[in-house]
Amino acid sequence: MITLAAGLRLPTNGLDYAILAIYFVVVLGIGFAARRSVKTSLDFFLSGRSLPAWVTGLAFVAANLGATEILGMAATGAQYGVAVVHWYWIGAIPAMVFLGLVMMPFYYGSRVRSVPEFLLQRFDKSAHLLSSVLFAFAAILIAGVNLYALSIVVEALLGWPQWVAIVVAGLFVLAYITVGGLSSAIYNEVLQFFVILAALIPICVIGLKRVGGWDGLSGTLEKKYGHSFLTAWDGTGIGEPNALGANWLTIILGLGFVLSFGYWTTNFAEVQRALSAKNLSAAQRTPLIAAYPKMFIAFLVMIPGLVAAVVVPRIGQEGSDLTYNDAIPLLMRDLLPNGVLGIAVTGLLAAFMAGMAANVSSFNTVFTSDIWAKYVRPGREDRYYLRFGRLVTAVGVLCSIGTAFLAATFNNIMGYLQTLFSFFNVPMFVVFIIGMFWKRASMKSGVWGLVAGTTAAMVNYFWIYKQGIIAIPTDQGANFVSAIVAFVVGAVVMVAVTLFTKPRPAAELAGLVYGTRSPGLEEPPAKGDDAWYRKPALLGWGAIILAALCYVPYSF
């Protein structure tokens, strides 16, 4: 898990705490302002499908931009160098574009409230119920990760006891989501996005100035670690040893395809933001708009890690109490003046809260709409589900507090998250992708694909990797392999089951399989959506090309 050096305290003063207090007041104010728009369960769970694309786009990227990513990716940069960009330019952008161009028409056009509900329409109740339970469980685990990581950082930097940090953050997230529903979460995520940028940009600018700009930074790093530390692909040939423990094939297939597509296209904590958009065009543009800031955030987490590798020579070294996770906190302490320091602390807390809020808001939707309303108390009036959704939000926060301490049993925060994704998101992705592109896939193949993929990933990780049956150098490499195994096994089982079971009638697949259309896809574009700069294809392919160009300076 995240561990920071003992005695690492920030020199905060009254100005810094005042900035933090103002932020919390604004967060609660947004929640109460959003309350006025919550009149139905659709308003609470999906903002009444009324939000503009730029709002949902920024919320989409902020929901992913948790402080676990900020600290974890900066630590990865300090440890592995420029290779950290793979998690962005290969591990995010292509999947986000695929979601916007290919999958959102099916999600939004079918008018589903959640990702598991799409499986109900495409397969059957067994696939729907299993995916709902798996997703709800994973959402609570991931929300707990954010809470526990927050407590560790706040204890180290500000001296607050862990339980105080957990309770305070949990109560604030509970308050603004319970009051204002998804709209409150989304508008707060937009605010949190800019607060996070305000925290990271000064660290990058002042850090680069300290080391003599990019030329001074790269020159020092090359002398200390060698040229490969400043390239993305050096040493990734098959059979070549490298610190990352992965070759180009496992990076492209394991991270770039299976893990990335599994996360971005089926994780309801992200997709929910797009489903809240006001029309199909806005829903498609949500992940495409998010792709542009996402690709440049790579620099905002990589640069602090590289700077820390220069200005903190003992970081991560054997016998040192400074871990790679200390990279950003150390730079905050040593580089930022009071006031700016308060903004940086607020940015970290905002990032943790954004990650937790995204998972709690998706949990309450799935549990209420896909489990309770479908199988426990179906057919009740809408007001009942609105009240129950608020109650489940409180339950979700309390469960997250519990799973926060479960997360303490794992040694590496990013490794833990990647493990969860390989267990839960990848099997769901293979079921989605085969169901969307193969009409013959039978109703029963969905549930068996989920079971087989999840089981295969767990067997690979806990038995083959942990027991040393096959040597895999690092946890990250093991997660890449687990993701590939889950995808292959899930796909094979789906094909095998399909050969012996009945397919869904073709008439019931309209809008659910590629090549078919539903009435939801026939809506005319809203005024202005037909402008050339709003075309999803232009935005999507532009993001792909720009991400590829970003690799050029770091490829040789």
Convert the pLDDT of each residue in 366-410 to its tens digit: 999 999 999 999 989 998 988 998 898 888 888 888 887 776 655
Distance CA 480, CA 492 (A): 19
How many residues would you count in the chain? 556
Distance CA 442, CA 506 (A): 11
Cut 0.75: pTM above it: yes
Q: Which of 414, 400, 326, 340 is nearest to 367 (CA)?
A: 400
Q: Which residues pair with 51 in a beta bridge?
A: 277
CA-CA distances (angstroms) from residue 432 to 128, 152, 494, 516?
A: 12, 37, 11, 15
CA-CA distances (angstroms) from residue 181 to 35, 39, 53, 112, 172?
A: 7, 10, 18, 18, 13
pLDDT tens sequence across 267-322? 877 888 888 888 888 999 999 999 999 999 999 999 999 999 898 877 877 767 77
User: What single-letter amino acid sits at 429?
Assistant: F
Distance CA 428, CA 138 (A): 12
- CB-based contacts of 304, cutoff 8 Å, min separation 6: 74, 77, 200, 203, 204, 207, 327, 328, 331
What confidence score (pLDDT) does residue 67 get?
61
Q: Which residue is associated with the tokens 């990702």? A: 115
Burial of 171 (0-12, 13-18, 19+ CB in 10 A): exposed
Which helix H or strand E contains 133, and what residues bound it?
helix 125-158
- Taking only the tens of pLDDT, the chain with its 556 residues reads 445 555 567 777 888 889 888 988 888 888 788 777 778 888 777 777 888 899 999 989 988 877 667 877 888 888 888 988 998 999 999 999 999 998 888 888 778 888 888 888 889 899 999 999 988 888 888 888 777 777 776 776 677 777 787 777 778 778 877 777 777 888 888 888 898 898 899 999 999 999 999 999 999 999 988 888 888 888 777 767 666 767 788 888 878 888 788 888 888 778 888 888 888 889 999 999 999 999 999 999 999 999 998 988 778 777 677 778 778 888 888 888 888 888 888 887 887 777 778 888 888 889 999 999 999 999 899 989 889 988 988 888 888 888 877 766 555 566 667 777 788 888 988 998 899 889 999 999 999 999 999 999 899 888 887 777 766 656 667 777 888 889 999 999 999 999 999 888 888 888 788 877 655 555 555 666 777 788 999 999 999 999 999 999 887 6
What confidence score (pLDDT) does residue 454 get?
93
| Ordered structural domains, the chain, with CATH | 14-554 (1.20.1730.10)
Burial of 142 (0-12, 13-18, 19+ CB in 10 A): buried
Exposure b/e, 145-170, CB count within 10 A at least 16 = b = bbbbbbbbbbbbbbeeebeebbebbb
Q: Which of 306, 264, 232, 272 is nearest to 91 (CA)?
A: 264
What's the distance, CA 487 to chain centroid? 19
What's the distance, CA 261 to chain centroid? 12
Distance CA 287, CA 264 (A): 9
Q: Is the dihedral of CA 211, 214, 216, 222 positive or negative?
A: positive
